[in-house]
Amino acid sequence: MGDPTRKDPLLENIEQEDINTSSNKSKLEEDTSMAPHSTSLIISTPIHRSSSRPQLDLSGAAIQGNFEEKDPTILLPNQSDDISHLALDIGGSLIKLVYFSRHEDRSTADKRKKSLKERLGVFNGTRRSCPILGGRLHFVKFETRKINECLDFIYSKQLHRGACILNQLHGLLSSTDPRGWSSEAQVNENAIIKATGGGAYKFADIFKERLGVSIEKEEEMNSLVSGANFLLKAIRHEAFTHMEGQKKFVQIDQNDLFPYLLVNIGSGVSIIKVDGDGNYERISGTNVGGGTYWGLGRLLTKCKSFDELLELSQRGDNREVDMLVGDIYGGLDYSKIGLSASTIASSFGKAISENKELEDYRPEDISLSLLRMISYNIGQIAYLNALRFGLKRIFFGGFFIRGHAYTMDTISFAVHFWSKGEAKAMFLRHEGFLGALGAFMSYEKHGLDDLMAHHFVERFPMGAPCVGGKIHGPPLGDLSDKASIIIDFDLDILCSLKNRDRVLSCSHCQTDLDNHWDHPHYRSGKTEIAKISWMEKFVQKGTEIIAPVPMAPPGTTGLGGFERPSSKGETLRSDDAALNVGVLHLVPTLEVFPLLANPKTYEPNTIDLSDHGELEYWFTVLSEHLSDLVDKAVASEGGTDDARRRGDAFARAFSAHLARLMEEPAAYGKLGLANLLELREECLREFQFLDAYRTIKQRENEASLAVLPDLLMELDSMSEESRLLALIEGVLAANIFDWGSRACVELYHKGTIIEIYRMSRTKMRRPWRVDDFDVFKKRMIGSGDGKPVPHKRALLFVDNSGADVVLGMLPLARELLRRGTEVVLVANSLPALNDVTAIELPEIVAEAAKHCDVLRKAAEAGGLLMDAMLNIQDASRINSSSVPLMVVENGCGSPCIDFRQVSSELAAAAKDADLIILEGMGRALHTNFNARFRCDTLKLAMVKNQRLAEKLVNGNIYDCVCRYEPAH
């Protein structure tokens, strides 16, 4: 140990190949027989950053127009340095790919925000001077032996193009081949893709030949470590423990992360002590790893795939193969040293004592025995290494783990057992992508290093719809129009369908194309690849929901209960990386809401969906609401055939997601009701339903605006005290207009908007179920002689369109303005159900202002009227003595709000706020009911669900909540 000249076989091949590139083809395939010995490769310098990346000027606007249709992932002009969007980790077993796709341009909205910020008088000096651009990080994997699929994928998504846009540009202009294919090798001459893993050496030529790009090699350990550090610091629910079938997310304190032990279980195993960023040492390793399980397993069971092997283990009984203590001690425990009769004395040991051949053993038993042997061994070695350096935390990564409950339980058990509970085994959700992420991070100037958890929103993988129960493929925009994709083919589907469902055949000779790269007609450009649009495929196929995830039957194992596998299930979850980790949406403008009393302990969700009963209930609620939602969505798009098809596809995809989450609720991190409600909205957007309730919202806005003048007159005739009560009543009553609630939707079928509103108002008898009105009133108007100081700025988190905002929140805003309180109306950035959005609000305010001087002056002062009528105006022209009324977007597209991730505008507006009003069930009950803020907070909502009413406030449907909490 410690001899720097000796090398671990896992590393040795790679290092030598670096020197002797001419022999690199055969090198990795040979030489696996060396005994393990660790190497001390000490690297404590900062992460190496290559300078060979081309610095490209992307200002060719005309050229961008040319391939815009064909290639939506191409970056827009003048956005230089945002081209590092693909990195690979090509391992012995699997190729891991991390790629980045940009968000669409939002420059108009940005301008509006800029002028708003000027009005708010907020300049955010701490923000990065060169903002990194928003986008999505995607995670995909392929088997290394099927490298062609990976090349297809890269090509179909044109990911290699980002590596050298100028070259590509030139190539496309000069190429006569419609695919630009024959000239690919020349056009990308200087293009570089970062890659790590042995395959970065082994397959460099293939990448050059097929995609015309050069591989720039990143050191493997370095990549693993920087990938792990990034995940542990930036992704909220990344690490978790897994004991006896129970998954528990671990909150990692960024400032208390190091040192830790990283055990990457790939084909082989690397054990790395990590002391800081770029500061690590590979202290050990073992050649008994994932490749061993898969390789030996394949030989012994004749399984055709890793998953098949893993699935077999689920039905295995290792006692048939393993020699137990009881087998040696005649059925007795060896209690003196703490070994029970059922403890494994020798893995596979039974095979020596019996006169049996391989065929006499069940493959299931062999697979389980092998899986246990290897997992347990790795757990033990990991612990011993942790012990050497006094490390308590061990993070396990690598695709051997494959999110498999039994594997994780076994490793955890070993660590727990040998360390007597001192050390903790933790797993990473992006287990196998550490190296690829590290390679991705190594691109220059991507600026990802200092990103924080609040900059990432993990979304359910939504790249495309569900084919055969899997969510796959490019977004709808790319493919809905078949005419625009005549020459291309849908490789995402090809990849996802594996060999079950080929979609490619050559139109020239009708041959099925297993490997189109080698097909002569493909090369010569003669073929038109027959393509089935994913939409048709999807609609045809129906939905085969993913197989259940293995879950532990509760309480099957006690400690030391290693006799029986703790986490077996009937089938194995599909090994589809896209469904095991979400897509990370990078939104650099998101911020933590500055008024949260304690951001570290803040938990947005009120309902804990780890309670299975709750989960089941809310899944049923959402499923039952689905057909009504689809009707609305389809109608909002004119009820065309296309809209119907999309509606159908949406329903299937959403149901598939629900089913997937029902099986593994923590698949994408901790699951709360807010995530489910957001998932529904995201899913709608994915199928191009941009605002399903558009017409309903318009209709309700118009009807409400028509009665607003009367309401304002009525309010103005009241005393201050009664007016305040009437205003709060008004907000609560109008919150009944909620198209997300089953009960309310039924009501709407029975009466008009005005009838329902009247009925709701008459039911507003105090005391409400939660009634802090008197305390609020005291703060607002005082109780004795002295008048309280009005709030300086109030943030009103508005909810639904129509009566809710027009007859509820706007009159309340008006009252505050009258008292000299600045009002910021905070609305959704994107539509969700019938919630009003920040884009829609200025126009509604402008309409309301026609009947109200207070609103008009304040809206003028806030620049709102200008915004609504003239779009963007120079802030300096607005000169009014009135306190301003402003509109700010919250950064969400959901009926709920997570205050850990809000728009930077909202964060900026919050700085001077001393009152926040959260309105509606989503924002005040489902989320934030228990949240505490550093300023006065009023939570107002009508509970429109019986079960929630019972659970939360011990009441009934249509009860009201008026919760006032003075500054914390």
Ligand X SMILES: Nc1ncnc2c1ncn2[C@@H]1O[C@H](COP(=O)(O)OP(=O)(O)O)[C@@H](O)[C@H]1O
Binding footprint of ligand PAZ on the chain (CB under 6 A) = 621, 625, 677, 735, 738, 740-743, 799-800, 833, 895, 920-922, 926, 941, 944-945
Q: Choose between 290 and 473: whose C-beta lies nearer to ligand X.
A: 290
Please name the residues in contact with 602: beta carbons below 8 A apart, sequence gap of 6 or more.
Answer: 596, 899, 900, 931
Which CA distances in Å does 793 have to 568, 824, 844, 911? 56, 7, 21, 9
How far apart are CB 687 and Mn ion at their closest, in Å?
21
Which CA distances in Å does 43 have to 274, 333, 334, 574, 784? 10, 47, 45, 38, 71
Using rule CB under 5 A, residue 893 touches Mn ion: no
Q: Choose between 339 and 942: whose C-beta lies nearer to ligand PAZ.
A: 942
**CA atoms in the 13 A half-sphere facing the CB of 512:** 7
Residue (of 418, 539, 446) closest to 162 by Cα position: 446
Tokens of 940: 């107002």
CA 755/CA 23 separation, integer angstroms: 83
Q: Choose between 833 and 854: whose C-beta lies nearer to ligand PAZ.
A: 833
> Contact with Mn ion (CB under 5 A): which of 492, 822, 835, 919?
835
Residue (of 489, 479, 492, 495) closest to 519 by Cα position: 489
CA 283/CA 387 separation, integer angstroms: 12
- Of 45-53, 478-486, 536-544, 894-902, the segment contacting Mn ion by CB under 5 A is 894-902
Using rule CB under 6 A, residue 267 touches ligand X: yes
Q: Choose between 802 and 862: whose C-beta lies nearer to ligand PAZ.
A: 802
Q: Choose between 405 and 677: whose C-beta lies nearer to ligand PAZ.
A: 677
Using rule CB under 6 A, residue 399 touches ligand X: yes
> Contact with ligand X (CB under 6 A): which of 99, 155, 181, 306?
306
Using rule CB under 5 A, residue 647 touches Mn ion: no
Using rule CB under 6 A, residue 227 touches ligand X: no
Centroid of chain to Cα 456? 8
With contacts defined by CB under 5 A, how many residues of the chain interact with Mn ion?
5
Q: Choose between 499 and 876: whose C-beta lies nearer to ligand X.
A: 499
Q: Choose between 366 and 673: whose C-beta lies nearer to ligand PAZ.
A: 673
Residue (of 939, 935, 937, 917) closest to 926 by Cα position: 939
> Contact with ligand X (CB under 6 A): which of 153, 155, 294, 739?
294
Using rule CB under 6 A, residue 400 touches ligand X: yes
> Contact with Mn ion (CB under 5 A): which of 895, 937, 949, 955?
895
Interaction partner, residue 927 (ligand PAZ, ligand X, Mn ion, none; CB < 5-8 Å by kind): none
Interaction partner, residue 735 (ligand PAZ, Mn ion, ligand X, none; CB < 5-8 Å by kind): ligand PAZ
> Contact with ligand X (CB under 6 A): which of 117, 247, 402, 470?
402
How far apart are CB 402 and ligand X at their closest, in Å?
4
Q: Within 55-161, where are the H helices?
A: 61-68, 107-120, 147-157
Work out whether the CA dihedral 844, 849, 850, 851 comes out positive or negative.
positive
Tell me which residues in 138-157 interact with ligand X (CB under 6 A): 143
The residue length of the chain stands at: 968
How far apart are CB 927 and ligand PAZ at their closest, in Å?
9
Tokens of 176: 């006569």
> Contact with ligand X (CB under 6 A): which of 266, 363, 569, 895?
266
Using rule CB under 6 A, residue 91 touches ligand X: yes
Q: Choose between 281 and 898: whose C-beta lies nearer to ligand PAZ.
A: 898
Q: Which amino acid is at 297?
A: G
Interaction partner, residue 522 (Mn ion, ligand X, ligand PAZ, none; CB < 5-8 Å by kind): none
Please name the residues in contact with 596: beta carbons below 8 A apart, sequence gap of 6 or more.
Answer: 602, 899, 900, 931, 932, 933, 934
DSSP codes, 662-710: HH-TTBTBS-BHHHHHHHHHHHHHHTT-S-TTHHHHHHHHHHHHHHHHH
Please name the residues in contact with 567: beta carbons below 8 A apart, sequence gap of 6 or more.
Answer: 244, 245, 404, 405, 406, 408, 409, 550, 551, 552
CA 268/CA 381 separation, integer angstroms: 13
Q: Choose between 478 and 738: whose C-beta lies nearer to ligand PAZ.
A: 738
Interaction partner, residue 266 (ligand PAZ, Mn ion, ligand X, none; CB < 5-8 Å by kind): ligand X
Tokens of 721: 């005290």
Using rule CB under 5 A, residue 320 touches Mn ion: no
Residue ranges that bind Mn ion, judged by CB under 5 A:
799-800, 835, 895, 920
Residue ranges that bind ligand X, judged by CB under 6 A:
91-94, 143, 197, 266-267, 290-291, 293-294, 306-307, 398-400, 402, 432, 575
